[in-house]
Amino acid sequence: MPIPREPRARAVANVPRAVAAAVVVALALAASERAASAEEETRPEPKPDYVPQGEYFPKGTWAAGFGAVVESSSFEGREPGATTTRSSRYGITSRNGYFLANRFLIGLRASYDVSLHRMTLPTATGGAEVVSEGSEQSFEVGPWFRYYFPVGNGWALFGEADWSYRTYVDEEKARGGLESKSTGRGLAIGMGGGITYFLTKGIAFDVAGRVSFARLLLNSEGRRTRVDLSDFGLILGFQIYLPEFVF
């Protein structure tokens, strides 16, 4: 039976509309997939657990740490019969504080250093005779300040300064049984800077260079003298950051 002319015309007219609707749906789906893909590409990768989220050093955090320094040196004359001096230095430092503001730490610093030295002369038999030997000990305690500059991925730079009260003891023993002892005390200031890296959550490794200047009043066998001392050292250590005081 032949289709009437009017319904056939309507069917032909509806074809472009269906095609247009299908094209619109396809374009919408493609745009949606493209947007989702772009969002996934620009989304930052999650940070490892050891990298602090947000502010590295937030206000209200407690910090506790320690460091150590070990040095050894030798001075040997090249002329026949010249003396040889060997010395070694060992030191420990404790630095603890509280973040009064983001990245700004204030606290207490304490350190103890001991230096051992020995001077010898060569003997005719090829051995060595001790001319003198002794030790120097110093202890410091005082306020300490540090400011951090985070650089990302668990790394941060810092600058620091401190003021301290220092005590000093020097003991010497020379050939022939002669002994001497000097004691001193005074004020010291120090400053330095370094870099820190988070090894795990809340624990960071520090490398710091520090220079200090001290003015001491020495007492040696009843004689008093004023001396100026300067030191430079490289300190390796760890810092632990706690969101609240756990003790």
Check pLDDT > 90 for residue 147: yes
Query: 138 near 167, Cβ under 8 Å?
Result: yes
**Residues 45-69: pLDDT tens digits?**
555 555 667 788 999 999 999 999 8
Predicted TM-score (pTM) of the model is 0.71
Dump the DSSP string for 15-33.
Answer: HHHHHHHHHHHHHHHHHHH
Pick the more confident residue, 64 or 29.
64
Rounded to 5°, angle at Cα 246 from 241 and 247: 125
Whole-number pLDDT of residue 108: 97
